[in-house]
Chains A and B, each alone.
Chain A
């Protein structure tokens, strides 16, 4: 079960990437506004939907750069 320890430790800084999405979506003053709107959708809505995608990409990056 136990893999080589040095590989697992390498790249663990990548985990910090996961913090980015916490800051981006848990601070409403960043995005509680109408403009700039996109295809008629207020900023508040499309910003948070966009972060779903960015969050998934960040998590995928951490998945590929770290070992379990």
Chain B
């Protein structure tokens, strides 16, 4: 590993110190009684359009995204750009569905997707399925944030042996856990603003300065091997890379807002109007993501993989080291400090929101539903605080003791699992037509089919579906959620006919879903 980069490290530490202070100070921001769960876990639903934009953006575009998307472009080429159509189609879905969910959750004081499904379908087991899926899918996602943090800490030249090697990561996580515990969602909301300023600055400097240094986009793309520049044209009787690309984009977009941390960010908005406005404003981040994907090609053109000073980094972190190596290669040390701090803080913001979201789910839809049915407000908020600590500690242990590849596999499976909550949550926002038990069977079918299909292709994202002599490679999550919906739709009339007399009540009415 290269020597410690003192200038960059100093700036990195100073910025971390600043956000630590900010995280604790945030407890007093738009002050509320933090002994209430909706104050701790949703920031009192007080964030307007502006703060929501930073919070939701900071939540969805994680440190891992900033490392992994360019790393995929660096390693695999054009296919990495699926992240762009993914975010393009995500926002219309967001625009259509989530203002409705905001309104109904506001009206009925729902804090989680589990609360909504419980109220809408009156079935606590269906709500439990949604809750457990959410928590299980979130855990490896938190762990992956730590990978982003690990890579930049390594790139700053900090190394050690044994437990000492993980000490910086542990310190960063203790800080994160402490300010989340004390300030709740207000902490990541305030830090998200700092994170975005740093990341935006880095992204724009990178896409302007580095191409100038490298002699323009023409030269950069000329350095990329022809096979990586475009998607492979499909052969006969298969839709090949085309269907894989499109289904990855669509499936990821459908899954995105089902993750608990997305909903936590959305529900913390102060009005449905703020949510709608954000659907039109959030694509600002997509542009940045697209530009950052190109940074993977800059790294190819700059030839960082062949430079001896970065060999150890690539050996340790693989292609995930491409972006840090490029920044070290292209930027002065002080700016490397700013860029790395942006990525590092970019790991803490989503990790904090994810742990809060998981804590809200456990507290509301497992503990309150099945263990202690009548907690006081204070007990409920205190429980969520403890759970947020446990969740983060679990992720930390995972990333220190388990190979990173396992977290990546689990996160892949997490995407397949979380999309199975689409029928009760997204379709449920529009219709109560589905039978609750049919939805539960659909969910179970999707989980089992998705997991086994994924295992059959050695935990890669796409499954080659054979049909009528043709092959349709596509994102397993999208295929299995279609199966899930079909099963639920077929079983709905069957269950309705048999169980008509005990159909559970829907506690929401049509007018709850809009202004």
Contacts and interface: CB of A to CB of B under 8 A. Distances in A.
Contact of A26 (B78, B250, B294): B250
Contact of A52 (B88, B272, B279): B88
Nearest to B511: A2
Contact of B290 (A3, A15, A48, A62): A48
B88 A63 contact: no
A10 interface: no
B230 A33 contact: yes
**Interface residues of chain A: helix, strand, loop or mixed (majority):** helix
Contact of A18 (B95, B249, B272, B512): B95
A49 B511 contact: no
Interface in A1-39: 1-3, 8, 15, 18-19, 21-22, 25-29, 32-34, 37, 39
A32 B233 contact: yes
Contacts of A2: 511, 514
B218 A52 contact: no
B368 interface: no
Contacts of B205: none
Contact of B216 (A15, A18, A40, A49): A40
B232 to A, nearest CB: 9
* Chain B CB within 10 Å, residue with most, of A8, A26, A40, A51: A26
Taking residues whose C-beta sits less than 8 angstroms from the other chain, chain B's interface range is 35 or more
Nearest to A55: B88
Interface string B269-283: 000110011011101
A52 B92 CA distance: 12
Contacts of A28: 231, 241-242, 245-246
Interface string A29-68: 1001110010111101100110111011001101100011
A52 B286 contact: yes
B122 interface: no
Nearest to A60: B280
Contact of A48 (B85, B92, B230): B85
Interface in B49-97: 78, 81, 84-85, 87-89, 91-92, 95-96
B353 interface: no
B91 A59 contact: yes
Given A40-B221, A59-B279, A21 B511 contact: no
A56 B88 CA distance: 8
B284 A18 contact: no
* Chain A CB within 10 Å, residue with most, of B85, B96, B107: B85
* Chain A CB within 10 Å, residue with most, of B78, B87, B89, B249: B89
B452 to A, nearest CB: 27
A35 B290 CA distance: 19
A29 to B, nearest CB: 6
A68 B81 CA distance: 33
B287 interface: yes
Nearest to A26: B246
Nearest to B241: A28
A37 B250 CA distance: 26
A45 B272 CA distance: 34
B219 A40 contact: yes
B329 to A, nearest CB: 21
A27 B290 CA distance: 18
Given A42-B229, A45-B294, A68-B273, A63 B95 contact: yes
Interface of A: 1-3, 8, 15, 18-19, 21-22, 25-29, 32-34, 37, 39-42, 44-45, 48-49, 51-53, 55-56, 59-60, 62-63, 67-68
Closest 10 CB pairs of A and B: A40-B218, A40-B217, A25-B85, A56-B283, A18-B92, A28-B242, A60-B280, A59-B280, A26-B246, A48-B84
Given A52-B84, A56-B281, A59-B283, 6 more contacts: A26-B246, A27-B246, A32-B242, A41-B221, A59-B91, A63-B277
